[in-house]
Structure 1
Amino acid sequence: MVRNTHLMAASNRGSSGLAGLINAVGFVLAAVLVANVLLVLLNVDSSIEVVQLIGNLADWLSLWWPGLIQVDDATLQVLVDHGIAALFWVVVAGILARAFG
């Protein structure tokens, strides 16, 4: 009986590890989007290669969200578009972590 409990505990640890990995990936994707928002808000020079890389990744990760809610200010538009996309990735990662973890 003790062995079965031990195996169940090991199985739960493995699945919680997978859930943690899924949540971590979702967090990293959202962090890229938030980092781009901060770079835009701080008016960081977009000719810097790292800033371009983060911007390109953020544009790719924002999927279909850009333009969903129209705002007059370009800076605020980036905040809204990438903010919604970041929230999307956190929610999707949470759902997947719960389903597979």
Structure 2
Amino acid sequence: MAASKRGDSGLAGLINAVGFVLAAVLVVNALLVLLNVSTDVEVVQLIGNLSEWLTLWWPGLIPTDNETLQVLVDHGVAALFWVVVAAILARAFG
């Protein structure tokens, strides 16, 4: 039987997948804002509400004058945060 490598477990993969999904929600919302998609659609509202929760304390941390750029910066930093946290947790528990 071959020895498994560290971080090769299913739990590590699951943690990384969850981090990727959380970051993807933030990126999708940033794209929806960038493309000026109407918020009347329920799916867009759901993604917007999820992304508000997922940005945690990041909104306004790096201030910009442009509202669209502010959303991109806030969501980009938060997405990076979730990917890094997931990687650290996957390494620790995987």
TM-score by length of 2: 0.92
% identical equivalent positions: 77
Task: Report the aligned-residue RMSD.
Answer: 1.8
- Work out the number of aligned pairs and report it: 94
Runs of 5+ unmatched residues, structure 2: none
Change (3 A) 1:8 1:63: same
Q: Which one has more relative contact order, counting CA pairs under 8 Å at least 6 apart? A: 2
Contact 1:15 1:100 in 2 (8 A): no
Partner in structure 2 of residue 62 of structure 1: 55
Report the equivalent of 1:98: 91
Gaps of 5+ in 1: 1-5
Deviating above 3 A after TM superposition, structure 1's stretches of 4 or more consecutive aligned residues are: 6-9, 12-15
Q: Give the alignment partner of residue 25 of structure 1, picking from 18, 21, 24.
A: 18
Larger Rg: 1
TM-aligned CA distance change 1:100 to 1:52, over 3 Å: same
The structure with more helix, counted as a fraction of residues? 1
**Residues in 2 aligned to 1:14 and 1:90: alpha-carbon distance in whole angstroms:** 15
